[in-house]
Amino acid sequence: MEKTKSIFVDLNERSYTIVIGDDIYNGVAAYIEHFANNRQVAIITTPPVANFYLKKVIAAFQSEWQVISYQVPDGEESKSIAMAQHLYSWLIRNHFERKATIIALGGGVIGDLAGFIAATYLRGINLMHIPTSLLAQVDSSIGGKVGVNHSLGKNIIGAFYQPRLVISDISVLTTLPQEEFICGMGEIIKYGFIYDGDLFTGLEKKVNTINQHNPDELLPIVHRCIEIKSEIVTKDERESGLRAILNFGHTFGHAFESFYQYQGLKHGQAVLLGMKCALEVSRKLDLIAEPIFKRGLALIDHMQVELPPGINKPDINDLLKIVKHDKKVTQGRNNLVLLTAIGAAKVVPVEDESLLAKGFEAVLRKG
């Protein structure tokens, strides 16, 4: 496979290119030239990422560019209106104009936050994603969901706001902590489950070596996942149908995340656990046969994710209460994404609480 590839996300006037490669940050300014209509760039990042990559990205710009950078504290708490206020003030004080560009340099937290700032500052300025976590590269930097959290719920305030460009450099994954790598693997496995049986089979074969971050194996996988997400988003930008399948495992996963108050269980880990629950419900409804269920479970179990240790364990009733308030509930029914084959999924409205409980039990039995 060639070292640098591009994928075009075709969304009419909101179209953009995703560049995927190995050690490509020195080309950032050249890429930005394609859309930037002034020379102001504001990089929003976080200390762990800045330590490794901020200088390299800044160095790509010649002196005629006004490049400023802001490091927000690491972690989900930074996805807040309070942090957005700081960032607006910073942009205003630096006289940033409507034609300026925001670069989100970091994982999904930075992408969502910086994307929200780009969508709202001066009613919208250019956004460029430079995703540095595996999860952000294969998922959150594509498709335009941006936002911040509210004390009453995650991702409650936000917008659909497409970037002008995405640059995914897989060489930066070498510094990603293993736990974060596994979170990205959760989303990669999800694409295999819901959309691409060949990807799933490939993952089954290579799971041990992929987990060692082998770049030659990772590049085609990251590329394929970006292709899948781009295809889905192109067909259904605002989640009125197909895009909903990307939520496979998310209804259950969000319930776990919410129970632990977004601490101790990361989003990607929760998705891995949530997919176990969704598999269980798919089997109970006879949408998939036992061998498929077992294959699915085996691949997820390879990731070795469990509920956080300690006495604070959820029981079924805690989780059922949370799941009833899920964002995707309509007319009192949970719209679950369930599997119909390896590589195919559909949304199924589920009213029966005992079925949801069976799903959660798939994880609680072990926890």
List Cβ neighbours of 183 (8 Å cut-off, separation of 6 or more): 133, 134, 135, 266, 267, 268, 269, 271
CA 5 and chain centroid, separation: 20
Element (H, E) at 280: helix 267-284
Q: Segment near ligand NAD (CB under 6 A), from 72-80, 287-295, 347-355, 357-365?
A: 72-80
Is residue 135 at the binding interface for ligand NAD, with CB under 6 A as the rule? yes
Is residue 79 at the binding interface for ligand GLY, with CB under 6 A as the rule? no
- 295 flagged as catalytic: no
- 267 flagged as catalytic: yes
Q: Which of ligand GLY, ligand NAD, none lies near 243, with the C-beta cut-off 5 to 8 A by kind?
A: ligand GLY
The amino acid at residue 153 is G
The amino acid at residue 176 is L
| Residue nearest ligand NAD, Cβ-based | 108
Q: Segment near ligand GLY (CB under 6 A), from 31-39, 93-101, 129-137, 238-246?
A: 238-246
- 254 flagged as catalytic: yes
Determine contact, residues 111/140, Cβ cutoff 8 Å.
Answer: yes
- 187 flagged as catalytic: yes
| Chain residues 86-115 in contact with ligand GLY, contact rule CB under 6 A | none
Count of residues that interact with ligand NAD, criterion CB under 6 A? 29
| Chain residues 28-47 in contact with ligand NAD, contact rule CB under 6 A | 46
Rounded to whole angstroms, the Cα distance separating 237 from 72 reads 29
| Chain residues 239-268 in contact with ligand GLY, contact rule CB under 6 A | 239, 243, 246
The amino acid at residue 235 is K
Rounded to whole angstroms, the Cα distance separating 191 from 323 reads 23
Is residue 71 at the binding interface for ligand NAD, with CB under 6 A as the rule? no
**Smallest distance from ligand NAD to CB 242, Å:** 15
Element (H, E) at 295: helix 290-302
Q: Segment near ligand GLY (CB under 6 A), from 5-13, 50-58, 138-146, 211-219?
A: 138-146
Determine contact, residues 161/127, Cβ cutoff 8 Å.
Answer: yes
- 333 flagged as catalytic: no
Among 76, 112, 139, 169, binds ligand GLY (CB under 6 A): 139
Is residue 186 at the binding interface for ligand NAD, with CB under 6 A as the rule? no
Is residue 283 at the binding interface for ligand NAD, with CB under 6 A as the rule? no
**Smallest distance from ligand GLY to CB 244, Å:** 8
Among 4, 171, 175, 340, binds ligand NAD (CB under 6 A): 175
Rounded to whole angstroms, the Cα distance separating 161 from 116 reads 8
Coil/strand/helix, residue 285: coil
Q: Give the phi and the psi of residue 311 in degrees, each rounded to 5.
A: -80, -15
Residue 178: count of CB within 10 angstroms of its CB: 10
List Cβ neighbours of 251 (8 Å cut-off, separation of 6 or more): 274, 278, 323, 326, 328, 334, 335, 336, 337
Is residue 183 at the binding interface for ligand NAD, with CB under 6 A as the rule? yes
Indicate the residue among 35 and 160 with the shorter CB distance to ligand NAD: 160
Among 67, 117, 125, 172, binds ligand NAD (CB under 6 A): 172
CB-side exposure of 262: number of CA atoms within 13 Å? 13
- Active-site residues, by number, are 123, 145, 187, 229, 239, 243, 247, 250, 254, 267
Residues that bind ligand GLY (CB under 6 A): 139, 143, 145, 239, 243, 246
